[in-house]
Structure 1
Amino acid sequence: MATIILGSQWASGLINPQTDNLIGSSVVFNADAFFKELGDLEAKGVPNLHSRIHVSSRCHLNFALHAAVDGLSEVKLGAEQIGTTKRGIGPSYSNKASRDGLRVIDLYSDSFERKLRQLADGYRQHYGDLLQYDVEAELANYAGHKEKLRPYIVDAVAYMQKAQEQKKSVLVEGSQALNVFADESGPADGAVLDIDYGTYPYVTSSNTSLGGCIQGLALSPFYLKNIIAVVKAYTTRVGGGPFPTEQLNDVGTKLQDIGGEIGVSTGRRRRCGWLDLVVLKYSMAINHYTTINLTKLDVLDTFPTIRVATAYIKPDGSKVTTFPADLGELETYEVEYTDFEGWQTSTQGLRDWNALPPQAQKYINFIESFVGAKVVYIGTGQDREEMVIRA
């Protein structure tokens, strides 16, 4: 049996009945969402559901309190809003970092009620009557979850140690487009959303990089043999923050419409623009990719000209080929593009490299030459079988 490790709380791995699943220690865990998703999957007839999903006892809890605080924090930021999902992810990680958070294992401690009340009181002092939150309802809710959740809880360190000793295939799945195929391959990430390396403060609250997978799951780095960057043939982003190649025009709208660029979690339309190879090369320096999986090539089929960013230009005319930490500085840059002739013919469903139009081959070859990693996988449609695989 393969083992699927969930780096986030989306239990998509459960759909495959041949997998075992773990919500890892670095995840902030919402019990309401967990049981709702299990109920939805059970209604759809997913087999052996409850015996194949496990929750690390070290996960931090994501409460309704955190969601209430998240919304107020965004309002407070005004025009500088980060664009969070308002589900309390950031506040949950803040409590984790400040060492006053509550973990799954704390549900079974006599101090649980006292600590949650203290947490709520602290936020109440900060936000006053603006905070619309009922701590009594939260306590009653988790009293109901306590025994219901117990069968799913495991020591994730021991779980992972056993999985690796038995040489099981491991897939690490997370938000921000992070996917790790341990034993056979490794991860791609949303580098600009990483808490340390991203466009801070317009980032998520955790590490979405290779290091985050190893740390958050006690995954052995020696278990990884190949690191695959999963990259769209163009660039997208949800929420606030800088986006040098964003197209606030017909090009951006066309990419949204053809690519179906709607955020899964939020339902918001994703911001779209041309592929930014400066960002991809920066991400490669963080994650050391060995292979590229270029997805959604077919979305570009009808564009007469296709652009890729290859450098940024400072006001003094000098070139920048790495991603800056200073977002104010980034705003002063212009983007230098390399233009390619579009192929303007359908690539949808193609599975052979030689069947791709010469213009598409030239585009792909340029990408792999620029970043220094081979494009082995090329997505040509929504079906998982619609993919070109190069030797």
Structure 2
Amino acid sequence: MSFTSLRLDSNPITSPKWTHRRLPHRSLLHPRNVVVCSVKSPPSSPSLSVAASDSLSRIESLSQVSGVLGCQWGDEGKGKLVDILAQHFDVVARCQGGANAGHTIYNSEGKKFALHLVPSGILNEDTLCVIGNGVVVHLPGLFKEIDGLESNGVSCEGRILVSDRAHLLFDFHQQVDGLREAELAKSFIGTTRRGIGPCYSSKVIRNGIRVSDLRHMDTFPQKLDILLSDAASRFQGFNYGPEMLRDEVEIYKRFAERLEPFIADTVHVMNESIVQKKKILVEGGQATMLDIDFGTYPFVTSSSPSAGGICTGLGIAPRVVGDLIGVVKAYTTRVGSGPFPTEILGQGGDLLRFAGQEFGTTTGRPRRCGWLDIVALKYCCQINGFSSLNLTKLDVLSDLPEIQLGVAYKQMDGTPIKSFPADLRVLEQLKVEYEVLPGWKTDISSIRNYTDLPKAARQYVERIEELVGVPIHYIGVGPGRDALIYK
């Protein structure tokens, strides 16, 4: 998108050329935010740059078991990096979440694929894709993805394995998700309404149905009846009777037959792959700030999208997990409700949303947008122990006269907050301290070497590295597979 720059007092904003009205001063920054002075440009570090010819060796040097995890509230662009790295891995595995994950990838011809359950390595014909025991599987959605892939020439036969320990997510879980959100009224969480929370709830209270249960259709109806009866007793709007049970059982008899070739003991498969020295890439869904334990609870997902979820969701030992790559947007977005300290309110946020096409892959909902939150990013790096970062969508910030980084939190009285708060009231009331860096008025989408980036863009990247203490090895400058700079 082309931009025309507007400047409001000391606060920069950009506007698409079809928008020519001045924006109110407070539409750019949340009223609680505090903007501090610009920072000096850090000295360049030539040793940090990696020539294009060295990019392959960098990827091949990744650990036998590596992972790609989100650093924010999801939608960071994890699927693209997984798709690129998968060409050098034997196995790509999902370890948690379900169809609430939305990963957009492109094939070599530029065709777009939106995946929700199938691992993003599916476009690489030599890659085995594993859906681990920690994933909740909605079979209608899985089969729809498989059909869509195969209709576009992507073979899935023998290339996708579904854990026999994974729990099944039924349509009624999605219905219950909507009823639960309606029940919460104004305090709704803003879930994707894909039934993820209700399915994990069934799992935790130990009346869930697993993929392995599809092999025992003699007891399947009884187990499903327990689930449906429980939902009917809990929600007045959920109508359940004998016909519904009968219809569901017939549907799942057909599903069981179709799924059978995909079912496997993936714990055994994963550990055998490790013994055989095969390279494994773990693809995280959602992100650390949505983690059930470490996220902005209760505005979180129902699984563990941080490093700990890799072991519990795949059945592999912590000692075998090596390099973890954190994926972070050059700015911040969030879908649904919950605290967002660096959010840009009003039309300023709208402009960034349209520039980055920030609409959910899973729901289509507009994402809330804001400046990059360094406090939250450092918190994610602490929890996960990232060896490197992938900074995505740097190109979206092109043409902004100035760019801001949220570098510190303070109480309303100015007292510094030393860590990312667990208390939502603190998160809602705090002030954000910003650093202002110069922007770059150059299209960077065709640049492939780090040293060719404008000086201001390199300054932005290196300042992030300096603040979080983790190197940025991958920089996204566009949606295509090749729109990646290796640093």
**TM-score range relative to shorter protein:** over 0.9
Cα distance in 2 for partners of 1:14, 1:384 equals 14
**What is the deviation of 1:377?**
1.5
Cα distance in 2 for partners of 1:387, 1:38 equals 28
**What is the deviation of 1:306?**
0.5
Cα distance in 1 for partners of 2:466, 2:315 equals 34
| Aligned pairs for 1:298-377 within 5 A | 298-377=395-474
Cα distance in 1 for partners of 2:312, 2:399 equals 42
- Aligned position for 1:155: 265
Instruction: Tell me the secondary structure at the aligned position of residue 380 of structure 2.
Output: helix
Within the alignment, does 1:282 sit opposite 2:379 as a pair?
yes
CA contact (8 A) 2:409 2:431 kept: yes
- Aligned position for 2:254: 144
**What is the deviation of 1:135?**
2.7
Residue number among 174, 182, 192 corresponding to 1:85 in the alignment: 192
Instruction: Tell me the secondary structure at the aligned position of residue 151 of structure 1.
Output: helix
Residue number among 176, 182, 187 corresponding to 1:75 in the alignment: 182
TM-score by length of 2: 0.75
- Aligned position for 1:23: 131
Q: Counterpart of 2:405 in structure 1: which amino acid?
A: V
**CA deviation map 1:154-200 (0-9, x unaligned):** 01111001111111121222321xxxxxxxxxxxxx21100010001
Instruction: Tell me the secondary structure at the aligned position of residue 214 of structure 1.
Output: helix
**What is the deviation of 1:132?**
4.3
- Aligned position for 2:122: 14
CA contact (8 A) 2:118 2:129 kept: no
CA contact (8 A) 1:310 1:321 kept: no
Q: Which moved more, 1:236-245 or 1:314-323?
A: 314-323
Within the alignment, does 1:246 sit opposite 2:343 as a pair?
yes
- The CA RMSD measured in Å over matched residues stands at 1.5
Size of the alignment, in residue pairs?
A: 375
Q: Which has the higher contact order (CA 8 A, sep 6+)?
A: 2
**What is the deviation of 1:336?**
0.8
Residue number among 289, 301, 319 corresponding to 1:204 in the alignment: 301
- Aligned position for 1:59: 166
Instruction: Tell me the secondary structure at the aligned position of residue 294 of structure 2.
Output: coil
**What is the deviation of 1:242?**
0.7
TM-score by length of 1: 0.92
**What is the deviation of 1:223?**
3.1
Change in CA separation of 1:12 and 1:387 when aligned onto 2, cut-off 3 Å? closer
Residue number among 198, 219, 222 corresponding to 1:111 in the alignment: 219
Cα distance in 2 for partners of 1:254, 1:378 equals 22
> What fraction of aligned residue pairs are identical, expressed as a percent?
45
Q: Counterpart of 2:397 in structure 1: which amino acid?
A: L
Within the alignment, does 1:97 sit opposite 2:204 as a pair?
yes
Residue number among 18, 26, 38 corresponding to 2:146 in the alignment: 38
CA contact (8 A) 2:119 2:283 kept: no
**CA deviation map 1:330-371 (0-9, x unaligned):** 111011111111112221121222211111111111111111
Within the alignment, does 1:5 sit opposite 2:5 as a pair?
no
CA contact (8 A) 2:130 2:162 kept: yes
**CA deviation map 1:119-156 (0-9, x unaligned):** 1111111213x114533322221122122211211011
Q: Which moved more, 1:83-92 or 1:213-222?
A: 213-222
CA contact (8 A) 2:290 2:299 kept: yes
CA contact (8 A) 1:350 1:356 kept: yes
**CA deviation map 1:187-244 (0-9, x unaligned):** xxx2110001000111011000011012101233333332211111000111111111
Within the alignment, does 1:174 sit opposite 2:174 as a pair?
no
- Over 4 Å off, 4+ runs: none
**What is the deviation of 1:387?**
2.2
- Aligned position for 1:218: 315
Instruction: Tell me the secondary structure at the aligned position of residue 434 of structure 2.
Output: strand
Q: Counterpart of 1:115 in structure 2: which amino acid?
A: K
Cα distance in 2 for partners of 1:55, 1:293 equals 28
**CA deviation map 1:285-341 (0-9, x unaligned):** 100112111111111011111001111110221011421111012111011111111
Q: Counterpart of 1:18 in structure 2: which amino acid?
A: D
Q: Which moved more, 1:143-152 or 1:237-246?
A: 143-152
Question: Which ranges in structure 1 are unaligned for 5 or more consecutive residues?
Answer: 177-189
**What is the deviation of 1:44?**
1.2
Q: Counterpart of 2:212 in structure 1: which amino acid?
A: I
Cα distance in 2 for partners of 1:337, 1:369 equals 15
Instruction: Tell me the secondary structure at the aligned position of residue 361 of structure 2.
Output: coil
Instruction: Tell me the secondary structure at the aligned position of residue 201 of structure 1.
Output: coil
Q: Which moved more, 1:67-76 or 1:212-221?
A: 212-221
Change in CA separation of 1:127 and 1:351 when aligned onto 2, cut-off 3 Å? same
CA contact (8 A) 2:221 2:245 kept: no
Cα distance in 2 for partners of 1:355, 1:145 equals 52
- Aligned position for 1:195: 292
Cα distance in 1 for partners of 2:125, 2:239 equals 41
Instruction: Tell me the secondary structure at the aligned position of residue 331 of structure 1.
Output: helix
Change in CA separation of 1:374 and 1:174 when aligned onto 2, cut-off 3 Å? closer
Cα distance in 2 for partners of 1:36, 1:343 equals 43
Cα distance in 2 for partners of 1:317, 1:3 equals 49
Instruction: Tell me the secondary structure at the aligned position of residue 214 of structure 2.
Output: helix
**What is the deviation of 1:386?**
2.1
Cα distance in 1 for partners of 2:122, 2:129 equals 7
Instruction: Tell me the secondary structure at the aligned position of residue 148 of structure 1.
Output: helix
